[in-house]
Chain A
Amino acid sequence: MSTPDHPASMAAVALVVLATVLVGGFGLRISRTTSDFYVASRTVRPRLNAAAISGEYLSAASFLGIAGLVLVHGPDMLWYPVGYTAGYLVLLVFVAAPLRRSGAYTLPDFAEGRLESRQVRRLVSVFVVGAGWVYLVPQLQGAGLTLTILTGAPGWAGDVLVASVVVLAVAAGGMRSITFVQVFQYWLKLTALLVPAIFLVLAWQSDGAPRVSFDDQVSAFRADHPLYATYGLIVATFLGTMGLPHVVVRFYTSPNGRDARRTTVAVLALIGLFYLLPPVYGALGRLYAPELIHDGDADAAVLLLPARMIGGLGGDLLGALIAGGAFAAFLSTASGLTMAVAGVLTQDVLPSRGVRHFRLATVLAIAVPLGGSLLVGRVPVADAVGMAFAVSASSFCPLLVLGIWWRRLTPPGAIAGLLLGGGSALLSVAITVSGAVRPPGWPHALLAWPAVWSVPVGFLAMILVSLATPGRVPPGTNAAMSRFHLPEALTSGRAR
């Protein structure tokens, strides 16, 4: 495709990258004197935390991927934004408050605290690392694609750039004051999509508001078993959100279970607002950049539209805004995930501990997905993210839901469920990405959208094996359950 030089876009990307490194490295050094003590030691309010969660959550898949999918496959793909949002509803109803009250910082912490077993902890760590890596690959690929479109640089350049920026920012300062950075990233992303969208819609109206037609379905691989694929997507996204390592970590910031719930409600609103925008780009792309359907680079639609529809300096500036927002999306999600994966690697996988090991773990946490993104062929960004959701839904969802709501869960049951549910999902993803089984046909559909069967497998294995090992129910189960479900004021024996 044509790759015009966009100095404005380059500047925007450079600005975002620089800001991330500086803020990550040096931290927002807000020092206060004692008179502000109360302000300084105030916990993160639900709305602020919600914006931070949204900022970290809205990834390349949301920023570029959904528009690309809508462009190519039509309105059926609206299930993606619905699923990405509805996942928080499930999280709100079943998990948010008890998870916060458990005091766990990561999923392995939760597993250890609830099941009192080091083995389960280790296994969960392996899955967190696996799901995190699967999720990181599309972030890096999205960055590569964006940089190629902006500068014509080879595909690997963007991957390497984002990976290095993340390593620098995380390893240098451990992303200090990360909440404010992520809050900023959310509003940046929203602005970067909203403002150009307004101009694009105006341009579309001055063009006579032509109707968008999705009649000529060009679905490349979704042609076979679209209903099954949709269900696969729904199950994966609805149940997978609760297990995403970087989302779980952020709930720790809420001071108590009540605030964790309020945070989740606010997240629903913020994310819902954001997801109104990508379909607009998808529809407009169908009108003004239809050749992308056949290029295979439909993810680029969002980036190309301003230049196509408006052109001139205005188009360049809007394009720059989108490019900056896209890079913010890669950086925030990638750094959040890298932090989470590196944390688990230092604690549970690498032999000994210390700050130096955290840096080593950071490099490891991003080097593996970087290698993956360079070697593996390009899968549409939103699809690849869907796979990470499927792994998370099949392994962590049963663990969290049963761990929080079922007294009789045992360590052997948890291990069986993780291995059978999560393991089979991970395997399916690996086989799909490797291209060993190609469409069309049921085998490909089953492997590409494993959640429909792997989530029930995970739940069943966990329940059946737990029932078969009643003697292994951890002794602290009742204490843990009352901590999960009673308001903090009651369990602490003090009214506040």
Chain B
Amino acid sequence: MTGAGVAVVTVLAALLLGTGFLLGRAARPQRTSDVGTPVEHATFETLHTASLAAPPLRAGLTEESARRSARRLRSLLGTDALCLTDRDRVLVWDGEGDHHGREVMDHVRGLLDSGRDTAFRTDCGDLDCPLRWAVAVPLTVDHRVLGTLVAWAPRESAVLARAAGEVARWVCVQLELAELDRSRTQLIEAEIKALRAQISPHFIFNSLAAIASFVRTDPERARELLLEFADFTRYSFRRHGEFTTLADELHSIDQYLALVRARFGARLSVTLQVAPEVLPVALPFLCLQPLVENAVKHGLEGAVRTSRITISALDAGAEAEVVIEDDGIGMEPERLRKILRGEGGTSTGIGLLNVDERLRQVYGDAYGLVIETGVGAGMRITLRLPKYRAGVHGS
């Protein structure tokens, strides 16, 4: 049975893997083999070449991006040689006659200031060299000339001059998009910095007041609490690193709860269930603390009664699942929805919104907070944290 059996298994395994990949790729558009008339065909070809040149340019105008896009750009223009420069030097020369590269910067110097297209003749003295004429077009982003595109030809050609102008404009659009990408990244970074959760001033005031009440009656306890407070603030105010580990974050929550208990005593009971496997998981800094603060607030709001909070962190394959649950007053789901859309208006729920946004920014929209609640039914918040995500390293 061996031979045939193994064949079957091998084929089956290959098929399963293959199906997976195909399903993954199903969403991508297919290139059609039916290309229609020659004109349509030419259009498709051009668009295809342009689309191949676009991705490298989206990284901005650098030696690397110029090198990777120059060949496509030259085939778009159909010239013998093409070169891209920035403001100081030739970034790439594609095609023949690269000895002309030395003189390019002299020819385009004026253009870098004026921003106007120029054409010029060249004569290198080499009779075999086909490059006699060139057109140089500026690459402008936001009225700033970043560099030039120079196309070379054996003789003057109005068509080439026009085409080079159009291609340069197309390149400019890509570069503008690159600029846009960059500013978007900067914006996100700035936003993350701005979103860095702040501990509330009320908490600092209340903690100090609670500690003060112990100074005479129980100095030892007051000293311990002060140390907890110092540790907690050192962690919360630290300035370096966007990420932390679940172990550090839980430790800080422990200190936070110790301070809260100093105020509320037996009214607050906390249950904890942590799988040790997930403690090294990296997560955005101060991501859990606002949620626990929220649970404490909801639990103790309203009538004088005891409140129970459960915090659990469980291992779920390639992810960790953190659940924070309280049996407090809960919330109208519609109101919660508004808060998470940023329409809350009041100061309540800023913590929730903040954590939700940061999680989505770091891990993607699939990893937002999941909140189950109802009026008087308590609240249960679930976070999923991938154990590994490129760029996320807990320090």
> Which of A's residues lie within 8 Å of B, judged by CB?
27, 29-34, 36-38, 40-44, 103-106, 109, 112-113, 116, 126, 129, 133, 174-179, 252-255, 339, 342-343, 345-347, 349-351, 353, 355, 358, 364, 368, 371-372, 375-377, 430, 433-436, 471, 483, 488, 491-494
Contact = CB atoms under 8 A, between A and B. Distances in A.
Contacts of B190: none
A40 B272 contact: yes
Given A38-B254, A133-B13, A113 B390 contact: yes
B317 A41 contact: no
Interface centre among A29, A112, A175, A372 (most CB of B within 10 A): A372
B269 A33 contact: yes
B280 A349 contact: no
Nearest to B68: A471
A126 B14 CA distance: 10
A43 B276 contact: yes
B395 interface: yes
A351 B7 CA distance: 27
Contacts of B245: 255
Contact of A31 (B273, B282, B393): B273
Given A32-B273, A349-B21, A349-B24, A255 B9 contact: no
Nearest to B249: A41
Given A44-B276, A255-B280, A346-B317, A31 B271 contact: yes
Interface in B310-365: 314-318
A437 B63 CA distance: 53
A347 B254 contact: no
Interface of B: 1-3, 5-10, 12-13, 16-17, 20-21, 23-24, 26, 64, 238, 240-241, 245, 247, 250-251, 254, 257-258, 261, 269-277, 279-280, 282, 314-318, 366, 387-388, 390, 392-395
Contacts of A116: 390
A30 B240 CA distance: 35
Given A103-B282, A176-B314, A430-B6, A29 B20 contact: no
A236 to B, nearest CB: 21
Given A104-B388, A347-B318, A41 B1 contact: no
Interface centre among A31, A41, A353, A377 (most CB of B within 10 A): A41
B315 A178 contact: yes
A106 B279 contact: no
A253 B276 contact: yes
Contact of A254 (B1, B280, B390): B280
B366 A353 contact: yes
Contact of A179 (B5, B250, B277, B392): B277
A342 to B, nearest CB: 7
Contacts of A44: 276-277, 279
Nearest to A112: B390
Contacts of A179: 275-277
A14 B201 CA distance: 59
Nearest to A488: B395
A34 B309 CA distance: 10
Contacts of B258: 34
Contact of A435 (B3, B10, B257): B3
Nearest to B310: A31
Nearest to B238: A494
8 contacts: A37-B272, A41-B251, A113-B390, A174-B317, A253-B276, A253-B280, A368-B16, A434-B6
Contacts of A435: 2-3, 6
Contacts of A375: 1, 5-6, 8-9
Given A126-B17, A376-B5, A434-B6, A43 B280 contact: yes
Nearest to A342: B317
A493 B241 CA distance: 9
A475 to B, nearest CB: 9
A446 B270 CA distance: 62
Contacts of A342: 317
Contact of B271 (A27, A33, A112, A436): A33
B318 A105 contact: yes
A349 B17 contact: yes
Contact of B254 (A34, A252, A349): A34
B230 to A, nearest CB: 16
Contact of B388 (A103, A253, A353): A103
A133 B316 CA distance: 22
A106 B389 CA distance: 11
A32 B240 CA distance: 32
Contacts of A126: 17
A207 B140 CA distance: 95
Nearest to B309: A34
B16 A364 contact: yes
Given A41-B279, A44-B277, A491-B395, A377 B2 contact: yes
Contacts of B9: 368, 371-372, 375-376
Contacts of A133: 13
A467 B276 CA distance: 42
Given A174-B317, A343-B317, A372-B9, A34 B270 contact: yes
B368 to A, nearest CB: 14
B6 A433 contact: yes
A346 B21 contact: no
Contacts of B277: 44, 178-179, 252-253
A23 B158 CA distance: 79
A105 B387 contact: yes
A368 B388 contact: no
B144 to A, nearest CB: 25
Contacts of B270: 33-34
B276 A32 contact: no
A247 to B, nearest CB: 15
Contacts of B269: 33-34
A129 B16 CA distance: 11
Contacts of B24: 349-351
Nearest to B21: A349
Given A38-B254, A105-B388, A430-B6, A177 B275 contact: yes
Please provide the 7 A-B residue pairs with the shortest distance between their CB atoms, ordered closest to farther: A492-B395, A375-B5, A434-B6, A105-B387, A109-B388, A349-B20, A377-B2
B271 A339 contact: no
B17 to A, nearest CB: 7
B274 A351 contact: no
A40 B274 contact: yes
Contacts of B272: 31-34, 36-37, 40-41
A31 B7 CA distance: 51
A141 to B, nearest CB: 13
B245 to A, nearest CB: 8
A116 B131 CA distance: 40
A436 B3 contact: yes
A454 to B, nearest CB: 18
Contacts of A41: 247, 250-251, 254, 272, 274, 279
Nearest to B275: A177
Given A113-B390, A375-B8, A435-B2, 15 more contacts: A27-B314, A32-B271, A36-B272, A37-B254, A43-B276, A103-B394, A104-B388, A176-B314, A253-B280, A351-B20, A351-B23, A368-B13, A375-B5, A376-B5, A493-B241
Contacts of B1: 375, 377
Contacts of A434: 2-3, 6-7, 10
